[in-house]
């Protein structure tokens, strides 16, 4: 069983640590303890939570517009650089920076400017997935008594 620390699960889900703790308290996720004694959750349960669409950042479209694109990231426009033909639009979507190149005409029609909410909709024929190596949990250091003078 792959155990994720509360903070790891929160980062993968794009929610706060407190949200994951509430899900554990309510029984949506099972409580575990990792090798260092820290609170943890089962990685398979976290994955199932996402598959079931029960997290707060459901990736399915919520605008009612049918689309074959399934990867939707809610975010905030942080920068728009535009010339006469092309625009580069930067969004902050949770912990992720997403940059899109589009026609300047499209950026103008959407009225994109820093500070406004937007959604990055990603449709790709190739997505490369790399395995993230995790450091093995280390044992807690032994507590030593301090001898004062």
Cα 35 from Cα 137, distance rounded (Å): 6
CA angle (57, 117, 58) in 5-degree steps: 10
Distance CA 64, CA 102 (A): 23
Instruction: Report the pLDDT value the prediction gives residue 135, as an integer from 0 to 100.
Output: 64
Q: What is the pLDDT of residue 139?
A: 55
**What are the sequence ranges of the domains in the chain?**
3-54, 71-122
Question: On the CB side of 53, how many CA atoms lie within 13 Å of its CA?
Answer: 8
Q: Is 23 exposed, middle or buried (0-12, 13-18, 19+ CB in 10 A)?
A: buried
pLDDT digits (tens, 9 = 90+) for 25-70: 999 999 999 889 999 999 888 888 877 765 444 444 455 566 767 7
Q: CA 76 → CA 34, 65, 89, 95, 136, distances in Å?
A: 35, 20, 10, 11, 35
Identify any residues that bridge with 77 across adjacent strands, giving them in sequence order: 91
List phi, psi (to 5°) of 52.
-75, -10
What is the CATH number that goes with domain 71-122? 2.40.50.100
Kindly report the CATH class assigned to 3-54.
mainly alpha
């Amino acid at each position: 069983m792959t155990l994720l620390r509360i903070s790891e699960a929160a980062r993968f889900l794009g929610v706060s640590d407190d949200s994951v703790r509430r899900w554990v308290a309510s029984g949506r996720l099972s409580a575990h303890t990792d090798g260092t004694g820290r609170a943890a959750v089962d990685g398979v349960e976290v994955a199932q939570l996402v598959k079931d669409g029960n997290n707060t950042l459901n990736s399915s479209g919520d605008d009612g517009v049918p689309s074959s694109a399934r990867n939707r990231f809610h975010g905030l426009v942080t920068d728009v650089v535009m010339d006469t033909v092309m625009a580069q639009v930067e969004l902050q979507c949770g912990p992720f920076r997403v940059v899109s190149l589009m026609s300047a005409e499209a950026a103008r029609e959407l009225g994109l400017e820093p500070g406004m909410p937007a959604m990055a909709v990603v449709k790709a024929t190739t997505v490369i997935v790399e395995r993230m190596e995790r450091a093995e949990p280390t044992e807690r250091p032994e507590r030593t008594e301090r001898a004062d003078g």
